[in-house]
């Protein structure tokens, strides 16, 4: 019983779950070139895989927040460098997700997971500064001493939602 | 079950977001020269700020023979005070914005851990008894 519940299976059928268009070749009688059609429909294999993941209820995601990949779950506090065009209370949707998983299953993107499959939102809580740090440069016996004081600016986000979408 | 663990812990931002700054007190003096920028700010910009932020209580008080000061009071009971002596109105506006956007928490070194989490690990803790046996 333990072994079965702790087995992790990677759900990656590369052509369907990656962030790439599904291409289909349409034969043309007169022309010699190939025409490609973009389709956004999700096939049954993808649906069953994603629904298996969704049934597990608790998720984590490796999402790129402000350019850095971070492992996040719901209710987390994430501190990043200050985001300039954002005010306190705004809700941000994270779209660059490398991996979204649960206890037994994981969805890995190549390089990112398709955006229709998940919903990750973060609320901007705070735009603060760090504690003051003093950088002291000294060269001894040369009468050289400099002090630089610095307070780094940060934006604090609360991950309000990490969800896998239901595919019908 | 202790009484502490039965009470729910608020996670600001998950359901609803509540601005942490609840009150701002602007102290100015009529006579001292360092208050010039503050007085101009109080004449021009403060009404706009107060209207845009109805959730913050904005108080303007005279404090004679002192430099101009902005005091922000927060929901965690702490207070942040910024002296805005000799600052132009646009600089005072920046300081007001800073106070509004902060929580009352003490300034910490925030670069050490980007993610602070109280959720248990989703995948569980590794156990040597529940992994595939080593094969040679």
User: Using the beta-carbon criterion (under 8 Å), do B115 and A71 form an inter-chain contact?
Assistant: yes
Nearest CA in chain B to A56: B122
User: Cβ of A131 under 8 Å from any chain B Cβ?
Assistant: yes
B94 touching chain A per CB within 8 A: no
**Is the Cβ–Cβ distance between A109 and A98 less than 8 Å?**
yes
- Asked whether residue B130 carries a pLDDT value surpassing 60, the answer given is yes
Whether residue B65 lies within 8 A of chain A, CB to CB, comes out as: no
User: In this complex, do A127 and B111 lie within 8 Å of one another by their Cβ atoms?
Assistant: no
Cβ–Cβ gap A79/B130 under 8 Å: no
Rounded to two decimals, what is the model's pTM? 0.80
Contact check, Cβ <8 Å, A101/B113: no
Q: What is the pLDDT along chain A (168 residues), one digit of tens a residue?
A: 333 333 355 554 443 443 333 333 344 444 445 454 445 567 888 888 888 888 888 999 999 999 999 999 999 999 999 999 999 999 999 999 999 999 999 999 899 999 999 999 999 999 999 999 999 999 999 999 999 999 999 999 999 999 999 887
Q: What residues in A contact B56, CB-CB < 8 Å?
A: none
pLDDT tens-digit profile of B50-63? 999 999 999 999 99
How many A/B residue pairs have CB atoms within 8 Å? 108
Q: Are A108 and A16 in contact (CB under 8 A)?
A: no
Is the CB of B117 inside 8 Å of chain A's CB atoms? yes
* CB proximity A77 to B under 8 Å: yes
- A19 and chain B: CB distance < 8 Å anywhere? no
Contact B31, B13 (CB under 8 A): no
pLDDT digits (tens, 9 = 90+) for A73-115: 999 999 999 999 999 999 999 999 999 999 999 999 899 999 9
Task: Report the 3 state secondary structure along chain B.
Answer: CCHHHHCCCCCCCCCCCCCCEEEEEEEECCCCHHHHHHHHHHHHCHHHHHHHCCCCEEEEEECCCCCCEEEEEECCCCEEEEECCCCCHHHHHHHHHHHHHCCCCCCCCCCCCCEECCCCCCCCCCCHHHCCCCCC
């Amino acid at each position: 019983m333990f072994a079965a519940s702790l087995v992790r299976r990677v759900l990656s059928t590369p052509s369907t779950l990656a962030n790439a268009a599904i291409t289909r070749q349409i034969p043309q009688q007169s022309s010699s070139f190939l025409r490609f059609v973009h389709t956004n429909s999700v096939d049954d294999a993808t649906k069953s895989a994603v629904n298996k993941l969704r049934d597990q209820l608790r998720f984590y995601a490796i999402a790129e927040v402000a350019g850095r990949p971070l492992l996040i779950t719901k209710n987390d506090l994430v501190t990043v460098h200050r985001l300039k065009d954002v005010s306190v209370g705004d809700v941000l949707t994270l779209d660059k997700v490398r991996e979204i998983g649960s206890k037994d299953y994981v969805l890995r993107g190549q390089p990112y997971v398709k955006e229709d499959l998940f919903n990750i939102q973060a609320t901007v809580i705070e735009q603060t500064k760090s504690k003051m740090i003093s950088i002291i440069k000294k060269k001894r016996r040369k009468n050289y001493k400099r002090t630089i004081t610095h307070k780094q600016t940060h934006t604090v986000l609360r991950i309000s939602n990490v969800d896998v979408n239901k595919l019908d | 079950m202790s009484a502490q663990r039965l009470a729910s812990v608020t996670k600001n931002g998950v359901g609803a977001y509540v601005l942490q700054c609840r009150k701002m007190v602007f102290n100015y003096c009529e006579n001292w020269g360092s208050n010039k920028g503050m007085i101009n700010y109080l004449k021009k910009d403060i009404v706009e700020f107060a209207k845009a932020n109805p959730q913050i209580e904005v108080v303007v008080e005279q404090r004679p023979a002192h430099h101009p000061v902005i005091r922000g009071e927060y929901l965690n009971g702490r207070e942040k005070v910024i002296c805005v002596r000799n600052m132009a109105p646009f600089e005072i506006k920046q300081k007001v914005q800073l106070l509004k956007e902060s929580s009352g928490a003490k300034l910490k070194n925030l670069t050490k851990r980007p993610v602070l989490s109280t959720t248990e690990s989703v995948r569980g803790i590794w156990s040597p008894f529940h992994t595939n046996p080593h094969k040679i």
